[in-house]
Amino acid sequence: MKIAASLVALAIALVLVSTAPASEPLKALIVDGQNNHGCWPRTTKMMKKYLEDSGLFTVDVVTHAPQGADPNFKPKFTDYAVVVSNFGHGAAAWPAETKTVFEDYVRGGGGLVVIHAADNSFPEWPAYNEMIGLGGWGNRNEKSGPYVYFGEDGKLVRDTAPGPGGSHGPQIEFPIVIRDAGHPVTKGMPATWMHAKDELYDSLRGPATNMEVLATAWCPKTKRHEPMIMTISYGKGRVFHTPMGHETYSQECVGFITTLQRGSQWAATGTVSVPLPADFPTAEKPSSRPAG
């Protein structure tokens, strides 16, 4: 009788497990509309697909007016676990109310993901510069904060020398060097992996407070190791920042796709469950998935 009762209990437990509702996907919001990169409508669609393909997210898009200020740009950030910025250089300032709401959202625990030229945006917005850690262009200079890079000795450098923030050389394929293999975003990645053709941002500068550099790339132009994957704490919020992703072919890189998925999940939850795919780049060769 005891065996029979145990079998019945086991059967009930299995039924309960099999009928338990799956966890709800995380809600993500991509904000775009003004970007010096003409491919931005396409890259927004690509990033939306990548996030949804992970099975972790549902994704909405809110697009700012294409030129000038937009008094109607008032996304309801608090409806989302993470916001992905696909803005760029020269983007008009958001309405004052929207900026305050956004600051409160991130400071209160909302996630933010900063992609490529989004670190060019809003140089005059102090809170945004704190959120992204490092930025470029927009008259950023030594008053914006230090240059941050790794020296040849493997140590992080905060360089306060005067000079403009933001630069890049010709587009190239380049190796990504993992600096923190224990972080959830980079855990399990090869120590070095090749990124597809992209702009290699260098000489970014900013407050760089509460920032950790997870990966770098050696820049032929500056002869130093520039940050390529970063995380920043802003209040209770988590920010994931990568300067990668200039063009559609840059975002087709499996390294970029995986980094975006992992970084977005980490910004939203503080954890990462996205596995490393079998076609992840190696130290010798990049790997891309044509977006079609």
User: Are 254 and 288 spatial neighbours (Cβ–Cβ below 8 Å)?
Assistant: yes
CA 168 to chain centre: 19
CA distance 58 to 34: 23
Q: Domain boundaries in the chain?
A: 24-269
User: Are 13 and 6 spatial neighbours (Cβ–Cβ below 8 Å)?
Assistant: no
For the four alpha carbons of 219, 225, 230 and 232, in that order, the dihedral sign comes to negative
Rg (CA), the chain: 21
Strand ranges, E, within 116-223? 147-150, 156-159, 167-168, 172-178, 192-198, 201-202, 211-219
User: Are 119 and 189 spatial neighbours (Cβ–Cβ below 8 Å)?
Assistant: no
Backbone angles phi, psi at 208, to 5 degrees: 50, 35
* Amino acid code (one letter) for 4: A
> What pLDDT was estimated at residue 22?
54
Q: Crossing angle, helix 40-53 and helix 254-269, to 10 degrees?
A: 70
pLDDT in tens, 59-87: 999 999 999 999 999 999 999 999 999 99
Q: Count Cα neighbours of 144 within 13 Å in the Cβ-side half-sphere.
A: 29
> What pLDDT was estimated at residue 288?
98
Here the tokens at position 78 are: 């608090």
CATH node for 24-269: 3.40.50.880
> What pLDDT was estimated at residue 158?
98
> What pLDDT was estimated at residue 243?
98
CA distance 105 to 83: 10
Using 70 as the pLDDT threshold, list the residues of the chain that sit under it: 1-22
Tell me which DSSP letter residue 203 carries: -
* Amino acid code (one letter) for 36: N
> What pLDDT was estimated at residue 3?
45
